[in-house]
Structure 1
């Protein structure tokens, strides 16, 4: 829901930084993997019981996730680059809730399982919609120039990053926050499926 506005604010500086990274020899895929690595470091901090410390690598990882596209635009965009980017994103999105469960399975297990299920459902609805949009030749740049169709929704990348930061700051309330966010994830996926039904029913 907030991604379009966020992209309008962050894309110009990201593109400038991305051009500088490309001139220094960085590749888009390399930046993607750096971002994933930082995200997984954040998950390790959380699993070890230091969620506040996890905020720094978490945010740096998300910065790298924005920069990989900027580097690709400054050099060469590839289908594999887009594929690597989205799969890395989903691994990161799953690793953070899993880390909270690992840290305290008794308190966080049920809520974490519900949240991960909602992510799985929402991710499937997102990727399935992208396949339908590609098949019908639909394009969008609402979330910036992407290698696949990005359908909007109640919860998008911006909201998820804010949610993860809140989890790190208020880790004692993980369960309540996870149940609430998971419910909205289910609603996002259900609305996306309804939109696909409206548009792509022959």
Structure 2
């Protein structure tokens, strides 16, 4: 929901951060994978309730996720392969963070973590399934022209997800409540994406 507003604000700072990497001939895929390796450390950190360090790993991962796209545009190396790697590792990272909270306090967090993972499957599959169909039908993405995949909007997008992960780390005792609320928002996103994607494809096909 907020990505259309936050992405233009981050475009120029990310380009500045990407410029020295471009000058050192570092590739977008290298940044993507490095950011993932940093982000995945949040899993053991959360399991041992090191929430401050986990938050740092999450923030650095999300920063790298923005820099790799800026670097791809700067170097002209945008590709479907890079986009695939980026989105695939993103979903693994998101799931790892939720698993980390489940391991930190299984009695309190495990059930709601399972609910949130269920909701993540809905948002992820609805996003990717539509992206495949949109690619085949050559449907444009006017609000997010720099995305590797067609970006079907929803209540919970990248900005909201990052905000939720940060809140989880800042207020771990409230994870069950916060995660439940975010899971509900993700399920709403899944429903609206399925509905919107279905009718978008029907209209595009002339039905």
Q: Is TM more than 0.5 here?
A: yes
Q: Which residue of 2 aligns with 1:200?
A: 201
Q: CA deviation at 1:79?
A: 1.5
Distance apart, 1:38 and its partner CA: 1.5
Task: For 2:148 and 2:163, locate their aligned partners in 1 and report how far apart those are by CA, in whole Å.
Answer: 24
User: What does the per-residue CA deviation read over 1:32-66, in whole Å, with 9 as the maximum and x for residues that have no partner?
Assistant: 01111111112221111111221112101100000
RMSD after superposition: 1.2
The within-5 A match list for 1:82-93 is 82-93=83-94
SS at match of 2:41: helix
1:98 corresponds in structure 2 to 99
Shift of 1:144: 4.9
Check the 8 A contact 2:35/2:65 in 1, yes or no. yes
SS at match of 1:85: helix
Instruction: Name 2:28's counterpart in structure 1.
Output: 28
Q: What SS is found at the alignment partner of 2:159?
A: helix
Q: Could you tell me which residue of structure 2 aligns to residue 67 of structure 1?
A: 67
Please give the TM-score of this superposition, normalised by the length of structure 1. Answer: 0.96
Report how far residue 141 of structure 1 moved: 4.7
Alpha-carbon separation, structure 1, partners of 2:86 and 2:142? 17
Give the distance between the partners of 2:104 and 2:127, measured in 1 at CA: 29
Q: In the alignment, what sits opposite 1:43?
A: 43
Q: Which residues of 2 match residues 100-179 of structure 1 at below 5 A?
A: 100-179=101-180
Partner of 2:54: 54
Contact 2:22 2:74 in 1 (8 A): yes
Gaps of 5+ in 1: none
Contact 1:118 1:182 in 2 (8 A): yes
Match of 2:186 in 1: 185
Number of equivalent positions: 202
Distance 2:181 2:4 in 1: 23
The equivalences for 1:4-23 within 5 A come to 4-23=4-23
So what's the TM-score if we normalise by structure 2? 0.94
How far is 1:143 from its partner?
3.3
The answer for unaligned runs of 5 or more in structure 2 is: none
Deviation at residue 107 of structure 1 after TM alignment: 0.9
Assess if the C-alpha contact under 8 Å between 2:152 and 2:197 holds in 1.
Answer: no
Structure 1 residue 10: Cα displacement: 0.4
What does the per-residue CA deviation read over 1:91-119, in whole Å, with 9 as the maximum and x for residues that have no partner?
Answer: 11101010000111111111000000000
For residues 147-178 of structure 1, what are the alpha-carbon distances to aligned partners after superposition, in whole Å with 9 as ceiling and x for unaligned?
21111110001100010010001101111111
Q: What stretches of structure 1 move > 6 A for 4+ residues in a row? A: none
